[in-house]
A and B are shown apart, each in its own frame.
Chain A
Amino acid sequence: MKNIFLIALSGMLLISSVSCDDFLTETPTVSIQEDQAFVTSQDYNNALHGLYQTLGRYTFLGRDVQAIGDASTDIAAHTATTSHFYNIFKYQILDTNPYLNDIWSTGYYAIDRASRIIAASENAQSFDESDAVVVNSCVAQAYAIRALSSFYLVNYFGLPYSAQNKATLGIVNITKPVAAFETVSRSTVEENYARILSDIAKAKEFYAKDGVEDVANIFMNKAAVSALEARVKLYMNDYNGAIAAANSAIELREGSIVSDKSDYVEMFKLLDISTEDIFVISKSATDYLSANSLNTLYNDYGMSVNEETIAEYASTDIRLALLGGDWKGGKMSGIVKNSQISNLPVFRLPEMYLILAESYAKTNQFKEAKESLLEVAAKRNPDLNVAAIPEDATILTYINKERKLELVQEGHRFMDARRLGEKIMVANGTYSNFDISKFVYPVPASEVNAGFGVLQTTGWDANLPK
């Protein structure tokens, strides 16, 4: 009895030690290991969709970028029903602000994922023709999104592009994926913009490759790349460049601007791509941000467009169909079935015409400026007094106002007010004559404290409104 036992015992021990290593290997079932991530062209598509998903998170272009872009300006009101974005609205900013942390981190996640797609394609074995087309399309979009994310980050964390601000600290330029523990440093605003333009050029280069077709409006299509170029060049005061790019975007889009009230409402009440959409972040009934959406912020969490701004629209303006009256979210009131679902527009046709108008005006081509302005203003307001709009430098006041009213709730106001040097009231009247062009948001404390070379913008808090 004893012997049998001892034999059985040693046998069991032997078995257990031999198969130990296998026993201790468990592979995950809902992830793949990184050396398997970019093998086939389908993998590139998967990574590209993951990149769009990152872009459309509520921590970036799904809500935070737009919310900060409007809450911090003269167009917002906040009832304090909840604390969401209240500190941004009130300029109670600390370098530990969670929304700033969100946009910096998610913006860089998007930049990193785009860079990984680009790097993988450079290191890959050659693909056959049909696969190469897929990969090139992915790379084109990756460059475009990298430029788009960088654009928002440099405008929130760096001063507006200008001759005096060119050499000030901007964001970190990324050309290839950054390894863990690698030291990085902030480049100047000028260098950031140069990189953005370079990425846009690369996007166009890859779109021009053999067989690469244009993609839908829920992706960074060819028109969107030109639209981004137009916006960037406008911000850089390269007016001629902006004009060329805006025209290119308009041509590629082949869309039209609506002038009918019900058409206008439909654009925001349906998830269908409208005739004005160039690039939107797509949401749907099976993929939406519920309480974290921009919709909920406007519908339930207390933010709204303030009375003063609403009063600036002419009484016959079709845009009042969504604003004014019983406030219910405006453009972000959601689709009929669910108030938390809307697409987030990133580029729309009206912006292109307004870019044209401003660029023409700045280059003293006032006739063309007025024409472009009317493409938007006259369509939105059927009773517009066209004759009253001058054909001289003062037309800029009209253009800037139209831009503000057209792009309300889309997160442009912060960036526009700064680059135009306007002194505005903020926090719905708490502070007035705030020189917002001198203000930058602090780099998040967690980035600075990580200690990999990103320095804080010294003295940023001296430029808070008083």
Chain B
Amino acid sequence: MSMKKLTFLFLCLVLGIGLVAAQTREVTGTVISSEDAMPVIGASVVVKGTTTGTVTDYDGKFTLNVPTSVKTLLISYIGMETQEVAITQNMKVSLSSDTQTLEEVVVTGYGVMKKAAFTGAAQVVGSDNLTKRTDANFMKSLEGSVAGLQISSFTGQPGAFAATTIRGKGSVNSGTEPLYVIDGIAIYSDKMGVNSASGSGDMAASPMANINPNDIESITVLKDATATAIYGARAANGVIVVTTKKGASGKARFNFNAKAGTSFVANLNNDYRTVNLDRYKEIWKEGLVNAGYAANTTEASDVLNSYVNDWYGVDLAGDVKDVDWLDAVISNGATQDYNLSVQGGNESMRYYISGGYFENKGVLIGTGMKRYSGRLSLDGNSDRLGYGLSVNGALSDIDNSMTESQYINPIVAVYDLRPFQQIYNQDGTYNMDAYYNPIALNDEERGDKRNQKQTTVVVNPYFTYKLAEGLTWKTNAGLSLIDLGESFYSSKYNPQYSDSGMLGERNMERATTYSITNTVNYIKSFNEIHNINVLLGQEAQKVAFSRVYASASGYPSDSVFELDNASTPVSAGSMTKASTLSSFFMNAEYNYNNKYYGSASFRYDGSSRFGANNKWAPFWSVGAKYRISEEAFMEETKDWLSDLTVRGSYGTVGNQDIGYYAAMGLYSYGYSYNSKPGAVPTQIANPDLKWETVAKADLGLHAVLFDRFTVEMDYYNQRTKDMIFDVPLSYTSGFESVLKNIGEMENQGFEFLINSNVMKTKDFRWDVNLTGTFNRNKIIKLATDKPIENTTTIRKVGEAYNTFYMAEYAGVDPETGSPLWYKGKEGKETTSNINEAGQRIVGSADPKFYGGIGMNFKYKNFDLSADVSYTLGNKVYNSGFSYDMQVGHYFLGPVSNYVYENRWQKPGDITNVPKFEAGNSSSAEANSTRFLMDGSYLRMKSVVLGYTLPSKLLAKAGISNLRVYASADNLFTITSSDYIGFDPQTRPTGFQSWSYPVPTNIMFGLNLGF
């Protein structure tokens, strides 16, 4: 609709009102809050269907002239239930808080519906829960809050990627992340960055970290077939629908949220830390004596001193400062977060504008993040037309390090440094004999640079048109841009490039998503009993990705960093790729008197990624719900059982998350030899390649008891079929594998969510929420009959995908101090020869049970919430322990306190740490369950204590709401007794090594509304 037409319509309306002006009457009234009987300031009082309206004043009073024909007024206020009230003299309207209403609404991205009517399995998380925690990535707040949702964050670095699965790992080779939909637009959530792939750094800034949690209204997690089938080929792993805040009618309301605080590593597991200088000398002397390099400790002292002098140039006999490298790289961090938003408007134009700044200085040297974000959301209605536009933009400036075994990860460097190696030389310069000296490497001016600037812009216009009564057309378009600019520099302090004149790298990546969705929705009630809701839609989407990379070395000095300064270009490249999706879908729901519900959906998706023979595929689902509590025979139970509903669904969804050109036979260039261009075959064709299908079955129950306890339970069984597998080929074919739809995997489980209002009195309220999930992942079929055996894992039919497979450690021989392993593939016989130890299945990285417990207390104006998340029964393998827990094979290397305190020393000692021997050749460092630990943990995720100032005081100052609070994240973590390390939470594969310690954040903040 053009601007002119809009203005014309508006004028007509105004005139219309004027014409009718003669027949009006004055209505007055007061609006109060039902909770505390205080006046509601700024509540909107409107004549339904018109723009005639006003807002309440500081006393909650309003006066309005309305046409005599009008019988009711609409009273509304943000956060409160809207009411339609009959007009009387001196009206008194009582508005109640609508937190209940919020939970009852499920946003599916294609529509909004009441949870009570929704036949699928879904859970909604409100904005309050998202802002409790202080982390740039809002996904981390969901940990433990949503049944069936598991977050695996393997690094505490600011803004880092957190792997997410809903109801278990859904695929082996296709993506396992759920689909993220923000205001109806699917977001590109693949990892970006030149070092983002695992194996090359696993350093990924997450696009989710660019979304300001303060801008989120709610998150709906869609889990089963009914909930997700409408997303078709992208929904196999579930869908996370994020709804951002929109404008609301009324006068302009401002909201200012600020918080600031500090972060620190509460306690660094002493077992994992390396020994100090005295212990180092003591254990290495013992090691030298045990290995026969010296006859006694006095001699050993000389031998040790001479080795250390030869190899490190340090005279241990002299005055050597004991250096704690781990302390040197860990310091206190700090966080600040400021947000200002304003919303208001009227029927024809409502707005929400916000801006925010977030800053986090990491606890590990060289890490930190700044985020600038802004949002503009406009929507309005005019007669039959509805329209809106939202524009979100954010820029994150991130400094992070790699998270794997690269030496530029400061933790890796620290674990290869000895307590006698100094940080600085006598003259104050950095000691470069310390390999990859992390303090030098992170020197502010002359050190390495690893900076990422992530810019995201989402533009989302939509319009709706009411074609007829109950029939609405909606067009929703979206443009989402993620721009990642990486700027890396390896300085003179970095041994890898210091000889070749340092290395500068620039990587620019851009992912653009264009999408358009057209839907027609028909909602109708017949005789108040039969209710139907039919949706028909069409969608087209294109994702385009591009990258430009350049690097150069041969820098003339250590104070210039741009590539133009360097003398030798090292590499230059560019690439693009694109993928398209076209779909048609239908969703139909019927319910009889809010008692019996049935739904069905169908979607037909076509993707450019699949083989010529299988480009299109159908997905469908059926669901039913039975509200038993509405039946006549349930009348007696109504007073204690206000709702009892059972539901079930079955359907199929797909997974199209594979390479964009995975079905083609390809030769690729770029394999040059001696600067001559070269091509090699890189992929075999498979024109039959198609989607993975997940068949989801769900049975659920929902009950509300005594109006105080809400229980929701689900049993589910998800079977992934036609799983795309890299079918191993004989290497003689020239390829390692070919993609084929051949595998099957299953996730079966039970999840529950219990919300209970334990106590409620006039001044006090206590709520407890519990979530828990049992999930069992199992491989049903692989590409071949034989299992896939790797060095420490195995993929075997009947076992979970993430199963550990390695030699089983049997402790230490008390007579000799040699390490022992169990011989062969089974049995209890032990051997001290690692080559005789067979690989055995020794556990899984998947937890047996995980969930969270939340408690909220409210006493008068105080509020206190405590949230705990826990995981039980999973195993964690630290692949760095071959070195960190060494018993002497790495000559003069660092030694851990655990080894020092528990080593075998004389015959008769019972321990699990072998004899410490310089140059130890017992193979104690070989992969085995010696380094496999129980990863179960319970974490005090967040504790928040707040105080809301009495509104009486604030009203005079024009402030509608002021709350101050203090919060603590990750206050403590209880781990299993055999766990050694910084934090047991790690990648979904269960592997960790030299990971970033998880910080505790203590924050103080305020929420101010005016």
Contacts and interface: CB of A to CB of B under 8 A. Distances in A.
Interface of A: 2, 5, 9, 12-13, 16, 20, 23-26, 28-37, 43, 45-54, 56, 79-81, 83, 90-94, 96, 98, 104-105, 108-109, 111-113, 115-116, 172, 174, 177-182, 184, 218, 282, 284-287, 290-291, 300, 337-340, 427, 430, 444-447, 449-454, 461, 464
Contact of A83 (B661, B664, B670, B882): B882
A233 B451 CA distance: 57
A29 B788 CA distance: 33
9 contacts: A31-B669, A31-B682, A34-B666, A47-B667, A54-B680, A105-B736, A180-B735, A284-B674, A290-B496
A337 B499 CA distance: 6
Contacts of B685: 34
Contacts of A445: 789
B538 interface: yes
A49 B606 contact: no
Contact of B608 (A26, A34, A45, A91): A26
B69 interface: no
A51 B661 CA distance: 23
Interface in B865-909: 882-883, 889-891
A37 to B, nearest CB: 4
A79 B891 contact: yes
Given A52-B678, A113-B734, A282-B674, A34 B667 contact: yes
A444 B499 CA distance: 37
Given A24-B615, A30-B670, A112-B732, 17 more contacts: A9-B473, A26-B579, A28-B664, A32-B679, A49-B674, A81-B890, A96-B789, A96-B791, A105-B736, A181-B729, A286-B569, A287-B675, A290-B496, A291-B496, A338-B499, A450-B728, A452-B732
A180 B738 contact: yes
B734 A80 contact: no
Interface of B: 465, 467-468, 473, 495-496, 499-501, 518, 538, 540, 568-571, 575-580, 582, 606-608, 615, 660-661, 664-685, 728-736, 738, 784-791, 834-835, 839, 882-883, 889-891, 921, 923, 926
Nearest to A45: B676
A285 B682 CA distance: 26
A427 B923 CA distance: 13
A36 B575 CA distance: 20
A13 B538 contact: yes
A-B pairs with the 6 shortest C-beta distances?
Answer: A112-B734, A49-B678, A50-B678, A34-B665, A50-B680, A452-B730
Contact of B791 (A43, A98, A287, A291): A98
A317 B499 CA distance: 29
B679 A43 contact: yes
B885 to A, nearest CB: 14
A12 B537 CA distance: 12
A464 to B, nearest CB: 6
B606 to A, nearest CB: 5
Contacts of A449: 728, 784, 786-789
Given A92-B923, A282-B673, A23 B665 contact: no
Contacts of A337: 499-501
Contacts of B735: 112, 180
A461 B833 CA distance: 13
Most buried by B among A94, A108, A291: A94
A90 B834 CA distance: 11
Contacts of A108: 731-732, 734
B660 A28 contact: yes
Nearest to B735: A180
A172 B731 CA distance: 10
A90 to B, nearest CB: 7
Contacts of B890: 80-81
A371 B500 CA distance: 44
Contacts of B684: 180
A464 B678 contact: no
Contacts of B728: 446, 449-450
B853 to A, nearest CB: 42
A193 B891 CA distance: 44
Contacts of B576: 29-30
Contacts of B834: 92
B167 to A, nearest CB: 30
B271 to A, nearest CB: 22
A16 B540 contact: yes
B665 A24 contact: no
B582 A23 contact: yes
Given A90-B923, A108-B732, A109-B731, A49 B671 contact: yes
A28 B609 CA distance: 11
Given A46-B669, A54-B671, A449-B784, A179 B664 contact: no
Nearest to A93: B835
A24 B582 contact: yes
A452 B683 CA distance: 19
Nearest to B677: A46
Contacts of A453: 730
B570 A25 contact: no
A23 B540 contact: yes
